[in-house]
Amino acid sequence: MTPSRRTTMQWMMTAALLPLARWSPPAMASAIEPGADVGPPFDVIVDWPVAPPLAPSTRYGRDPDLMNPKVPWSLTLTVAQRRTVDLLGDLILPEDTVSPGAGALGVGAFIDEWISAPYPVQRADRGRVVGGLIWLDAQSLALHGRAFQALVPREHDALLDALSVPLPIARMAAPVAFMDTLRKLFVLGFYSLPEGKTDMGFIGDQPVAGAYPGPSRAALAHLAQALQTMGLKDIPA
């Protein structure tokens, strides 16, 4: 599924308002240096690549018109990279009984729009994501002689497991930061969709017929407990 550019622009700008959008992976300085007790996950680890430069963009601003969005920048991902992102989406947030996987829902289109935008946060994410996709194919070729898309499920799992550790060795710091960033973007995109909101049981504001009945007993009990924990007193209305 590939949403229209209008849809992905609205999606990206809305997601940018959420706190998760400004999260960054831990600094690479926290990686374990060579010689520590933790060994490398692979016999061969390819070098981290340099991502191609972002194409120049014009006519963009800080206050986009979400009702009539323009498309002032070109998309970044190649067809092959977009397929890899969609595959990763279905591996990271797979299909279940409530919703399709993130890749099937088109979250890859949101990620492509996000990393193509010429703003500082998106530029930083772009370097990690594009570099990581190039690295992932190179590492897959070094280990198995095939690009990541052509690997079998157990080979996918082994690579993703190596990219999901809290303290990687120094040579794996950039690939792990790539996966941290990609996972964040999948979660950000997926849970901004109606399917994602249904998945987590979010119902939002609901209209109440007639006079407002006031907070429920459960809500008032929770408030009283919270105030007591903080050493505060409820002020009668």
Residue pLDDT, tens place only, 150-208 = 999 999 999 999 999 888 998 999 999 999 999 999 988 887 776 666 666 666 667 77
Enclosing domain of residue 83? 5-199
Confidence at residue 174, expressed as pLDDT on a 0 to 100 scale: 94
Residue 49 lies in a domain: yes
Q: Of residues 233 and 101, which shows the higher confidence score?
A: 101
Confidence at residue 236, expressed as pLDDT on a 0 to 100 scale: 58
Whose tokens are 């909101």? That residue is 197
Confidence at residue 143, expressed as pLDDT on a 0 to 100 scale: 96
Residue 174 lies in a domain: yes
Residue-wise pLDDT for 195-223, tens only, equals 666 666 666 667 777 888 888 899 899 98
Whose tokens are 């500082």? That residue is 120
Residue 59 lies in a domain: yes
Residue 226 lies in a domain: no
Q: Of residues 131 and 103, which shows the higher confidence score?
A: 131
Angle formed by the axes of helices 107-116 and 120-144, nearest 10°: 120
Residue 121 lies in a domain: yes
Query: In angstroms, rounded to a whole number, what is the distance separating the alpha carbons of residues 203 and 218?
Result: 18
Residue-wise pLDDT for 105-124, tens only, equals 888 999 999 999 888 889 99
Residue-wise pLDDT for 4-41, tens only, equals 776 776 777 778 877 778 777 866 555 666 555 567 88
Q: Which residues pair with 32 in a beta bridge?
A: 169
Q: How many CB atoms lie within 10 A of CB 89?
A: 26
Residue 70 lies in a domain: yes
Share of the chain above pLDDT 70, in %: 79
Confidence at residue 96, expressed as pLDDT on a 0 to 100 scale: 81
Query: In angstroms, rounded to a whole number, what is the distance separating the alpha carbons of residues 71 and 4?
Result: 11
Confidence of residue 138 (pLDDT cuts 50, 70, 90): very high
Query: How many domains does the chain fold into?
Result: 1
Residue 60 lies in a domain: yes
Residue 223 lies in a domain: no
Confidence at residue 97, expressed as pLDDT on a 0 to 100 scale: 82
> Nearest-CA neighbor of 169 among 50, 43, 46, 30?
30
